[in-house]
């Protein structure tokens, strides 16, 4: 089935909700998930003409939501007495084989169906990847890391231990979180609400990025913020660390309170590259 045909049928089934779903509808959804798994379609994709460099594909998000509508809750337990699992039949765990070229290290990780995993991806236990995501070749997802629904992760990234990449499934027109190529997301970081992290960025441990928190660029003398029309965007090669800014008026000033804010302290250079380079033997 051509992508254009898949798009039109998914749109029609989403917009004209039937009283029940038949075998043809279920087969259509299966083809949709197969296209997601193969990387033929994605929730957002590069777009050189957009200021963010990306555009969202709302119909793909509609297809994902359609799966929740169609699915019935079933028992997915491996051992229902010791560890019961109940979820929609349309969203089981992702099927992988040795030939997939993905390392899933034993220890309790979970990867949901309907996501693209490039060759050379390494999943360290326990971590979680939700549906609709795209994880590029050579990326490592470390222990206790979470990649939320529809997030787009580039090639050769390192999503460090306990980092959270937020999901943006609804509204369907909202851009999901974007992590471009060669990005290091440090331990205990959080990237949320459609933030775009450009290529080769380094997020120091504990950095939190949201739409409502400004980022202070000490190198270029700028304050980066999201707007009603555009997400927060972290420039290519920026090195971002947790910082603070003083409250300058009212009771907060009297009490000497400071608020959290991310700070760009430098842009990547050869010294930075040497410090954050991943050891190839781990892959």
pLDDT at 271 (0 to 100): 72
Give tens-digit pLDDT for 212-258: 999 999 999 999 999 999 999 999 999 999 999 999 999 999 999 99
Contact 38, 31 (CB under 8 A): no
Q: Is the pLDDT of residue 275 over 80?
A: no
Domain span at residue 23 reads 3-72
Q: Is residue 13 part of a domain?
A: yes
Is residue 149, in this structure, part of any structural domain at all?
no
How far apart CA 251 and CA 249 sit, in angstroms, is 7
Strands 146-147 and 164-165: parallel
Q: Which residues partner with 13 through β-bridges? A: none
Backbone phi, then psi, for 152, in 5-degree steps? Answer: -115, 115
Specify if 25 maps to a domain. Answer: yes
71-105 pLDDT per residue, tens: 999 999 989 899 899 999 999 999 999 999 999 99
Q: Is residue 62 part of a domain?
A: yes
Q: How far is CA 223 from CA 92, 235, 262, in A?
A: 43, 12, 10
Count of structural domains within the chain: 1
Report the CATH number at residue 48. Answer: 1.10.166.10
The residue whose two tokens read 């693209």 is 116
- Do 211 and 227 meet the contact criterion of CB atoms below 8 Å apart? no
pLDDT at residue 49 greater than cutoff 80: yes
Integer angstrom CA distances of residue 257 from 134, 216, 247: 40, 18, 6
261 in any annotated domain: no
The kind and range of the H/E element at 26 are helix 23-38
Per-residue pLDDT tens over the stretch 132-168: 999 999 999 999 999 999 999 999 999 999 999 999 9
**Does residue 2 surpass a pLDDT of 70?**
yes
Q: Is residue 47 part of a domain?
A: yes
Q: Is residue 48 part of a domain?
A: yes
Q: How crowded is the C-beta side of 123, counted as CA atoms within 13 Å? A: 24
Cα separations in angstroms, 12 against 26, 59, 103: 14, 10, 37
Does any domain span residue 52?
Answer: yes
């Amino acid at each position: 089935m051509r992508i254009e045909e898949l798009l039109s049928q998914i749109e029609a089934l989403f917009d004209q909700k039937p009283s029940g779903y038949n075998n043809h509808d279920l087969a259509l959804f299966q083809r949709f998930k197969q296209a997601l798994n193969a990387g033929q379609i994605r929730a957002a994709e590069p777009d050189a003409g957009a200021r963010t460099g990306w555009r969202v594909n709302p119909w793909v998000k509609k297809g994902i939501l359609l799966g929740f509508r169609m699915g019935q809750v079933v028992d997915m337990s491996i051992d229902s007495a010791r560890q019961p699992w109940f979820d929609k039949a349309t969203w089981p765990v992702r099927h992988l084989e040795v030939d997939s070229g993905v390392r899933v290290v034993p220890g309790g990780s979970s990867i949901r169906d309907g996501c693209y995993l490039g060759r050379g991806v390494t999943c360290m236990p326990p971590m979680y990847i939700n549906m609709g995501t795209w994880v590029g070749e050579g990326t490592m997802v470390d222990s206790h890391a979470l990649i939320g629904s529809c997030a787009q992760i580039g090639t050769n990234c390192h999503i460090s231990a306990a980092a959270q990449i937020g999901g943006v499934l609804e509204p369907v027109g909202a851009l999901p979180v974007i992590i471009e190529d060669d990005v290091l997301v440090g331990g205990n970081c959080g990237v949320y609400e459609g933030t775009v992290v450009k290529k080769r960025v380094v997020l120091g441990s504990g950095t939190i990025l949201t739409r409502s928190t400004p980022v202070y660029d000490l190198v270029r003398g700028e304050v980066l913020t999201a707007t009603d029309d555009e997400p927060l965007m972290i420039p290519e090669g920026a090195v971002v660390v947790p910082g603070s800014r003083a409250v300058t008026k009212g009771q907060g000033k009297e009490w000497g309170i400071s608020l959290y804010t991310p700070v760009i302290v430098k842009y990547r250079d050869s010294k930075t590259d040497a410090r954050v380079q991943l050891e190839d033997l781990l892959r």
